[in-house]
A and B are shown apart, each in its own frame.
Chain A
Amino acid sequence: MSRVHGRAHCSIAPPDMLGRLAVDGTPKQREAAVRALATSAAIRSQRAVMGRLNRQLNLNIGQMVGFAVTPQRRLTIYDNKTNGRTFLPGVRARDWGQPPVEDAAVNQAYDGSSATYEFYRDVYKRNSLDGVGLELVSSVHYGVGFDNAFWDGSQMVYGDGSGRIFQIGGLTRSLDVIAHELTHGITELTAGLVYSKQSGALNESFSDVFGSLVKQYSLKQSAAEADWMIGEGILVPALGAALRSMMNPGTAYSGDRQPGHMDDYVDLPDNNDPRNDNGGVHINSGIPNHAFALAATALGGKSWEKAGKIWYKVLTTRLRPNSQFDEAAQATVDVAGSLFSSTEQDIVHNAWKEVGVRT
């Protein structure tokens, strides 16, 4: 009920009706409704309507796949600053193919989304989040001094940072943060890992894994050269160097509670208490993060070529919404064997063993 609170003012009836047809109608009605949605002259931005439909009808992009209109744009950046500050997506600030604008946050979100798109296309032959070219939408300047970035089920959202936790402008400056958020979209459309306890920690870990890989790929780093940090240099210096360390979980900033081994797993309830982090999803992700960093380093070379390929295949084809650590670990061992050989399989097995997860 509260999900549309304060957003109802932007409701426009015809697209909503079309949206319902697009969801609940017969295949023919769906097709017609989607075509009408896409071509209506009254709709300045199909994406805005799609995003709003997602919220009003409680849809996510997974439910929209299959009748999404083939986008003409690879990505678009919106500015929230000039339009109510929390009204998504906001005002279009830079379209696909347009030159840089004056606003650094807009250009950073553009370049980071573009680099992430190219990584998934060139390395894993994946055309955007859904595999069929879904437009990547980002909104910057969300809220006022907002200390967060998130994925809202259909787009990325970035705050400016308050200068007390995140540096002002820090959230869009970090390529691994952008790739982290976009990977939440891929997870939603593939494994669908439930954002709670172990499945949620896996969801978080896959975002960190591919966040780090996009950064390593852009820097052409080998596993040995990588810093294995997420969000380096975006917190205020007094708090610490980064948000997370995949190689040394629990050491990224003062107060970092991440374990790197199952012996130190933090068993928290999932009860909406901010202290419990959906059952420790950003805490226990340290364990699978550590396993990935160990496996990638032991496999050697560029992390996206072997370790990343294994984890990508597991994420997109082997997991289910309630998968736990042991199931994900076993899947990576199996896939290491099917993609490569028993040598790689043993390395992956040993990486999980080192963090206390049995395969």
Chain B
Amino acid sequence: MYDIKHEAKGLVTHGNSACAGCGLELIMRKTMEVVGPDTIIVIPPGCAAMFSGFGKEGGLKIAGCQMNLENTAACASGIRAALNAQGNTHTTVLGFAGDGGTLDIGLQSLSGMFERGDRVMYVCYDNEAYMNTGVQGSSATPASASTTTTPGGKTSQKKDLMMIAMAHRIPYAATASLQNLNDLKKKLEKAKNANGPSLVHVHTPCPTGWRFNPALSIELARAAVRTGAWILYEYENGKITINNKLTELAEIDTYIGKQGRFKHLNAEQKTELGKQIKDNYFTYTSMLERMSIH
């Protein structure tokens, strides 16, 4: 029925049209390594849809469907309900969506899925804008970043998806990054095995949208964590663990200095942004520490 026209080592095609150096492509591969073939994937429009394929050509060996940008979680819930009705408890249902499809357009259906407690694993790859349609700003775009809809730099802050997920008291939610693949895979594994809805929010360097040399994708993922711009933590059955507790943060220029989307900032504005990110890191992590006392 499904004709394997080209060989591939894993479950994902080698010749995928994601841009050279795309962080999402690596996240998709690592996710497939963890979930395995007994998985049904739901992908909305966005760059990940390139893995759903075009017309009769697909890029994943597992079953799946491409839905709308609004309803990844709702469709995944439906698939879970159908599997449950068949008595199938072994198949993993995976929603795999971008930041626009998760924090903006698909937020309502995601909230519904969390609230109902449907056993669905949800991965949000966050490249911090609507990349597939030409880099429009989303609510996940960080402050000061330039996009085609925020050419002078975004004036508002990034929306906090983790806090929204935790407010639903789901069994597992975590932020992750490509800087440490073992940590990423460990979190994906936990999300897969959660007894209810789970979320893995992965920071995703995008050379095209962030405007940097594609060779630097991993370096920038690391820099984001070391500068405090991306905070790694887990929420597991009510308990919070911070994975990258830092006493000293790396120079902000190691992160924003290499990206075209922050190029419009002058030295003073860059220092100011660095200060904001630093302050946010320390207030945010101390808030998490207080939240995790039960």
Partners in one complex: no
Give B contacts to A, CB under 8 Å: none
